[in-house]
Amino acid sequence: MTQRRLVFITGASSGIGQALAARFYTAGYDLALVARRTDQIESWASARQLDAARYRIYSADVAQTDSIVGAGQACIVQQGLPDVVIANAGISVGIDTAERGDLDVLASTFATNNTGLAATFHPFVAAMVARGSGRLVGIGSVAAIRGLPGHGAYCASKAGVVAYCESLRGELRPSGVRVVTLCPGYIDTPLTQGNRYGMPFLMKAEDFAEQAFRGIESGVSYRVIPWQMGVVAKIMRMLPNALYDRAVQGRGRKKRLGES
């Protein structure tokens, strides 16, 4: 009997992570699902009537290195070495550098989106290299392309994801382990549903998951989804700073819930 392939996904309790879990399950993968809110994953899996023998749930906080590393190690013990690891968990919070408290928000964002991504990959790298195969997938964002006023922490962290994955890709290329960077545009998830501005080319999470699955399976190194946002991102990157700065000036951090 052929053993099913295994995918390890962080941030699997909602949004993109949940949609990716559904797509990989449909493709025949077993699931290793990671989140802080494990009850939400369990409710989702139950509602979809997933085969209990084909998934396990791991409670972990990617912002805590030992926590997410422990989840990866537990996965290897309980389910084996994954074929695909998707570092999807991330946060987006506006900041104002003039506010002392927002420096802590910046550090928290980096802890989740950057250190957490590397810590997600860590337990699997050596074993994948020894095996000579595997996919390590980092979820970036089109926000990595240019800085947006009020969103310095998020933009910087996602630019870091892109650069880190590119570095890791070069390191692992001779080993047969592929590193895939996916940069979503606007995806209809709980993270974006509170946005009060226009979101061009807004995409359903399920549609993103389909395109992401195809890219991961093909071993693409970098892809913006949807492709239209990739075109927009390239245009934004080519704009002279004077024009770009004028276009986005005056946009600061939005107040958070509870602030006045």
Active-site annotation, residues: 154
d(CA 185, CA 172): 27
How would DSSP label each residue in 124-165? HHHHHHHHT-EEEEEE--GGGTS--TT-HHHHHHHHHHHHHH
d(CA 67, CA 115): 12
Query: Residue 108 burial by CB count (10 A; 0-12/13-18/19+): exposed, middle or buried?
Result: middle
Helix (H, G, I), strand (E, B) or coil at 183: strand
DSSP bridge partners of 85: 8, 136
DSSP 226: S
Cβ proximity of 124 and 81 under 8 Å: yes
